[in-house]
């Protein structure tokens, strides 16, 4: 299947995605990004990237403007990274890119936690005795964390902040 057939099958606003590594000093912060990243969030994100690596590429346009991943780029810079993985978007109009930025930031707010699975995962990590501040992963205490079936180590491990 060639690229045009692939795009036709997925829709006009789909493209093959390729990850490239872009120097951080070439990236431009998106002045129209509606999200603010507080110091506490950036510190936690920095710890997460230090622990797991830079696993989610940022999204950039042809002018090297960051459309998604501004906080990840800032965290990587704090860690001394000189480049980050990025996916360059060329198929959207300026209006569509602006709409994507808002949608990408806003839609994540609609997700909810599955408290039972989160409790099981916290218990798993507690039993491994992993020395990592899991508060970087979550920002609220789900109701089920107070459950008597959750070990004290799991309860405190993720909510240390």
Predicted pLDDT at 12: 59
For residue 153, what are the contacts with CB-CB under 8 A and spacing of at least 6?
Answer: 126, 129
**Structure-block tokens of residue 136:** 């970087």
Q: Is 52 exposed, middle or buried (0-12, 13-18, 19+ CB in 10 A)?
A: exposed
Cβ partners under 8 Å of residue 41, min gap 6 = 71
pLDDT value for 4: 57
Q: How many domains does the chain have?
A: 2
For 62-83, give one letter per residue: b (16+ CB within 10 A) or e.
Answer: eeebbbbbbbbbbbbeeeebee
Per-residue pLDDT at 118: 85
User: What are residue 84's DSSP bridge partners?
Assistant: 22
- Asked whether residue 146 is domain-assigned, the answer is yes
* pLDDT confidence of residue 136: 45
Task: Give the domain CATH number at 46.
Answer: 3.90.1530.10
Write out the chain's pLDDT in tens, 161 residues. Answer: 565 555 455 555 667 788 999 999 999 988 888 888 899 999 999 998 998 999 999 999 999 999 999 999 999 999 999 999 999 999 899 999 999 999 998 888 888 889 899 888 888 877 776 655 655 455 445 444 455 555 555 444 444 43
Give the model's pLDDT for residue 144. 46
Q: Do 95 and 146 belong to one domain? A: no
CA distance 114 to 144: 10
What residues make up the domain containing 147?
115-158
Classify strands 83-88 and 19-23 as parallel, antiparallel or unpaired: antiparallel
Are 93 and 71 part of one and the same domain? Answer: yes
Judgement on whether residues 27 and 87 belong to the same structural domain of the protein: yes
In whole angstroms, give the CA distance from residue 109 to residue 34. 13
Q: Is the same domain home to 88 and 136?
A: no
Report how far residue 7's alpha carbon sits from residue 91's, in angstroms, rounded to the nearest whole number. 11
**Confidence (pLDDT) at 155:** 47
CA–CA distance from 25 to each of 42, 76, 87 (Å)? 18, 11, 16
Contact present, 60 and 66 (Cβ < 8 Å): yes
> What pLDDT, on a 0 to 100 scale, did the predictor assign at position 119?
86
Is 64 within a domain?
Answer: yes
């Amino acid at each position: 299947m060639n690229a045009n057939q692939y795009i036709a099958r997925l829709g006009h606003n789909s493209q093959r995605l390729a990850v490239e590594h872009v120097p951080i000093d070439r990236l431009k912060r998106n002045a129209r990004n509606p999200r603010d990243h507080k110091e506490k969030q950036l510190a936690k994100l920095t710890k997460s990237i230090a622990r797991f690596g830079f696993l989610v590429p940022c999204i950039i346009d042809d002018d090297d403007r960051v459309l998604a991943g501004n906080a990840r780029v800032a965290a990587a810079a704090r860690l001394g990274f000189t480049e980050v993985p990025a996916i360059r978007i060329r198929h959207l109009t300026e209006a569509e890119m602006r709409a994507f930025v808002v949608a990408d930031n806003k839609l994540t707010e609609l997700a909810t936690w599955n408290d039972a699975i989160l409790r099981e995962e916290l218990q798993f990590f507690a039993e491994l005795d992993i020395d990592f501040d899991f508060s970087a992963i979550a920002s609220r205490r789900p109701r089920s964390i107070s459950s008597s079936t959750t070990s004290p180590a799991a309860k405190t491990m993720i909510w240390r902040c």
